[in-house]
Amino acid sequence: MSTEAAVSPATTSAPTASESELTTESGRVLLPPKRDAWRARYARMLRITDLLVLVWVVYGTQIIWFGLGRVDVAVREDSRLNEFSYWLFSAFLVIVWMLALALADSRSDRVIGTGATEYARLAGASLGVFGAIAIIAFLTRVDVARGYLLISLPAGIFFLLLTRWLWRQWLVAQRQAGRYSANVLLVGSRQSVAQVARDLQRSASAGYRVVGACVPHGKVADVLEGTGIPIMGNVDSIDRALAVTGADTVVVTSTDDLPTDKVKQISWSLEAGRQHLVLAPSITDIAGPRIHTRPVAGLPLIHVETPNFSAGQRLLKRTMDLSISLVGVVAISPVLLTLALVVKLSSPGPVIFRQTRVGYHGQEFQMLKFRSMVVDAEDRLDELKASRRQDVGNRVLFKMAEDPRVTRAGRIMRRFSLDELPQLFNVIGGSMSLVGPRPPLRSEVAAYEAHVHRRFLAKPGVTGAWQVGGRSTLSWEDSVRLDLGYVENWSLVGDLMILARTLRAIVGPQRTAF
């Protein structure tokens, strides 16, 4: 059945047991099956696993610390409370901890599946619980065993984060298959709708599945250019489009071509608690901490702060770089020595390859890598470019999936990113950071547009958003977008997440590293 037939009252057959009808201002439509209540179901699964983790951690810590017998919480003589068992206190701690996670909205569908907000809320709520317990215990003169608390807190946070991460991997897999996602109806100009549609389709793990669009002068059964998304009518057919598609989220991509007060009318027409309105401003790659909404005279003004790299942030990042790099070099020193021996014996030439790269504030430095190519690799580059055999990379970055200059040992090292381990010494020396933009060559910088130079506001990284986001398979535009997004929205939590994703990528062979 065509889209036009599906929404035409004249051709709508009698509803089945799983379907129903709705009469709107534009006619009678056959409703799709009832919406999947995946949000409540997923939150319920998180609630159950959170409870199991906390019971296991808290009571496990109690048994390890005190044994299976009855042990009472110590209460001072001048306290108004009577002694009570740690079994009771542990139950109280689990209940309060679960309540704190709920009050922090750590299971909200707005934070699950992507970003660090879910993890930050979970950790913040947990720290708040133990801070409150410490204050209450001091005021009521109750002495709770410090070892019991010092074990429960980090263990609880660790295992909560671990289970949430495992659930997130499952959720991402479901979303890649089109499940556990918000069904989105896009509203706006054709150009803005097409752009947002492409962005959402590229990030399926975010949980927005586009099911239709309403554009000015849109006709039913048309398709949005370059996306395959059906047009459900013009901007006056939103109620009908929601009913036909089963969409539970309306995303307004632009308001330039919409009538005055149209967004307000859309919000009034949505079913409270079951349908949602999202506004997609034209500014992109701006993280939440830089965005603040301030109502003025009934207008929700969006304030976007300019990137600010404070001395405290730089000190924090440098401290993390030094501590992890120094510990890492010591820990993997046998691996470094083994790789150096392999490079030396596998092909003639130096063990370490030094290459001039452009770094912080445009300053040049010598980047270190284990040599993974033949000695005359740089001299043969122009020949390979002229042969037009490039099959990966992009118009600025030259890459080949089967580069003839790469040695046999180098091919293995590149697949697991082992050739980049000497860059830890660059980090210790201060020319690089563990996480940051990709360090470019001087020839690449010469091809930069003016705005791309903003990537030099941060030190280049051993890894970064570009590496975990696709690496050699990325287009030049996507590479720039990821690097600039990192520079302008830096956070310590973001760095830790990129490092974790990098470690996971190193464990398994990479198809994006050439």
The DSSP code sequence of 320-334 is HHHHHHHHHHHHTHH
Spatial CA neighbour of 57 closest among 158, 165, 134: 158
* 22-45 as b/e: b if 16+ CB within 10 A: eebebeebbbbeeeeebbeebbee
- Distance, CA of 9 to CA of 20 (rounded, Å): 13
- Distance, CA of 5 to CA of 474 (rounded, Å): 40
- Name the one residue in this structure whose structure tokens are 């009469």: 23
| DSSP 8-state assignment for residue 246 | -
- Distance, CA of 201 to CA of 213 (rounded, Å): 14
- Distance, CA of 273 to CA of 17 (rounded, Å): 25
Residues contacting 493, CB < 8 A, separation 6+: 116, 119, 120
Residues contacting 215, CB < 8 A, separation 6+: 187, 188, 189, 190, 193, 224, 231, 234, 235, 257
Domains annotated for the chain, with CATH where assigned, are 3-11+20-34+181-282 (3.40.50.720), 38-175 (no CATH), 311-507 (no CATH)
pLDDT of amino acid 399: 65
Structure tokens at 329: 């070099």
pLDDT of amino acid 10: 35
pLDDT along the chain (514 residues), means of 10: 38 42 47 70 95 95 84 60 74 94 92 86 93 85 82 94 94 90 90 86 85 86 80 87 89 81 84 84 62 68 69 89 95 94 90 93 93 83 67 60 82 88 95 92 85 87 83 73 83 86 72 52
| C-alpha dist (Å) from residue 394 to 399, 480, 486, 487 | 8, 12, 20, 21
pLDDT of amino acid 365: 95
Q: Where are the alpha helices (DSSP H) in 270-394?
A: 311-331, 333-346, 381-386
- Distance, CA of 475 to CA of 460 (rounded, Å): 19
Strands 182-187 and 208-214: parallel
Question: End-to-end alpha-carbon separation of the chain, Å?
Answer: 47
pLDDT of amino acid 8: 38
Give the amino acid at 24.
T
pLDDT of amino acid 5: 37
- Name the one residue in this structure whose structure tokens are 């962005």: 199
Give the amino acid at 407.
T
SS3 305: coil
pLDDT of amino acid 229: 86
pLDDT of amino acid 29: 45
Strands 20-24 and 364-370: unpaired
Question: Which tens digit of pLDDT belongs to each residue from 109-138?
Answer: 888 888 788 999 999 999 999 999 888 888
- The pTM of the whole model exceeds 0.75: no
Question: Which tens digit of pLDDT belongs to each residue from 51-89?
Answer: 999 999 999 998 888 888 777 665 665 555 556 687 888
Q: Answer for the pair 465, 485: CB distance below 8 angstroms, yes or no.
A: yes
Helix or strand run (H / E) with residue 68: none
| C-alpha dist (Å) from residue 136 to 15, 131, 156, 224, 393 | 60, 9, 20, 59, 59
SS3 260: coil
Structure tokens at 309: 């790299």
| DSSP 8-state assignment for residue 406 | B
| C-alpha dist (Å) from residue 27 to 10, 11, 21, 186 | 10, 12, 11, 21
